[in-house]
Amino acid sequence: PIECTLATFQIYSEQEKEDIREEIKAKKDFRPALSPGAEMFANRLKKNLKRLKKWAKKNRITSYRIYDADMPEYSAAIDHYEGQWINLQEYMPPKTVDPGQAGKHLDEMIKGLTAVLDIPRRNIHVKTRKQQPGLAQYEKIAHTGERHKIREGGNIFLINLTDYLDTGIFLDQRLIREIFGQLAETKRVLNLFAYTGTATVYAARGGAGATTTVDNSNTYLDWAKENMRLNGFSGQQHSFIKADCLSWLENAELEYDLILLDPPTFSNSKGMKRTLDIQRDHVELIWKTIKLLAPGGTLLFSTNFRKFRMDMEKLPELNVEDISGQTIPPDFERNRKIHYCWKIRRRREHPSLS
């Protein structure tokens, strides 16, 4: 016997095909009505996007913040990556907001995002942001290993939207990375507390003669190596050091023409001999770093501690220029305390420091 399959087909006229296509489109385009709260959030989102999209397109920026706790009852920071993914970091609600309403507000934000951006729910990644002890913000919260590529400043970076509170790149530091890259040509460059090495990539792109990337995490140091390889940078001139930066600075001997120092606000992570408190320790940390700076060199010092105060009286031999205002991009203008940044050089009248 011959094995056979019986198949039946329905033949549609051209008009019937068109009717079916319209019906499918209508179902796809159908969206349930938004609640008043979701509608209010969606309107604020539209207002922000109207302003930001022109700027982003003009500057070829494809990942940026689109909402930053604009309304206290919708307390979250929302970043839009490559027009495809959303990272929604929900803050602990202020005391003026009923805790029982927090879940409702989160749901309204998600519905507003899907309505305005036409992004599927699975591409919206939600995390809760609260004060973290030590380096808890860098620890794993999931184990998917799923990463995506994003573009910035002619570079390609890997991000992970699921496994950590942070994604692998701090978007607010976009202009700091750009300045670092612009200063790097032919320079011997050092990136301390380097995280995933995005600033190192900028330096290499800017023509750095050599780069050294130091971080205390094998995970992030490997990530930094991948970011460099992804952009075509390899070779012995690019070194990566797994070390506690405080201890490493005690014994480092090489000179560098350009250094980026971007420490955490507080750290008591494994492998450190002592805790780091950036307000308490910043003068000591700056001096230890300055000792590695070649004559005529530049140190960029950055911190995201919002209550930070630079102790200028203990740095009289240094030329300390506050460039924070130049490093806050338009998508973070609502909160100009998102970070601070200084350009630091030796004063010429103190040759003993050269």
Instruction: Among 62, 97, 130, give the residue marking a domain's end.
Output: 130
Question: What would the mean pLDDT of 195-203 be, rounded to a whole number?
Answer: 98
Q: How many C-beta neighbours within 10 Å does residue 282 have?
A: 22
Instruction: Give 84-123 as a DSSP string.
Output: TEEEEEEEPPPTTS-GGGHHHHHHHHHHHHHHHH---GGG
Q: Lowest mean pLDDT of 97-106, 145-154, 284-293, name the range.
A: 97-106
pLDDT of residue 44: 97
Question: What would the mean pLDDT of 287-298 be, rounded to a whole number?
Answer: 97
- Residue 309, SS3? coil
Per this entry, what is the length of the chain? 354
Residues 116 and 182 occupy one common structural domain: no
Residue 158 lies in a domain: yes
In whole numbers, what is the pLDDT of the chain averaged over residues?
Answer: 90
Question: What would the mean pLDDT of 167-176 be, rounded to a whole number?
Answer: 98
pLDDT of residue 352: 47
Residue 159 confidence class, pLDDT cut points 50, 70, 90: very high
Residue 25 lies in a domain: no
Q: For the chain, how many structural domains are there in total?
A: 2
323: domain CATH number?
3.40.50.150
Q: Which of 1-5, 38-42, 131-135 has the highest mean pLDDT?
A: 38-42
Residues 180 and 103 occupy one common structural domain: no
The residue range of the domain holding 46 is 36-130
Nearest to 195 by CA among 86, 304, 293, 325: 304
Question: Which tokens hold the place of 273?
Answer: 């001999």
pLDDT of residue 270: 63
Q: Lowest mean pLDDT of 23-37, 213-227, 240-254, 293-307, name the range.
A: 23-37
Residue 15 confidence class, pLDDT cut points 50, 70, 90: confident
For the stretch 51-60, pLDDT in tens is: 999 999 999 9
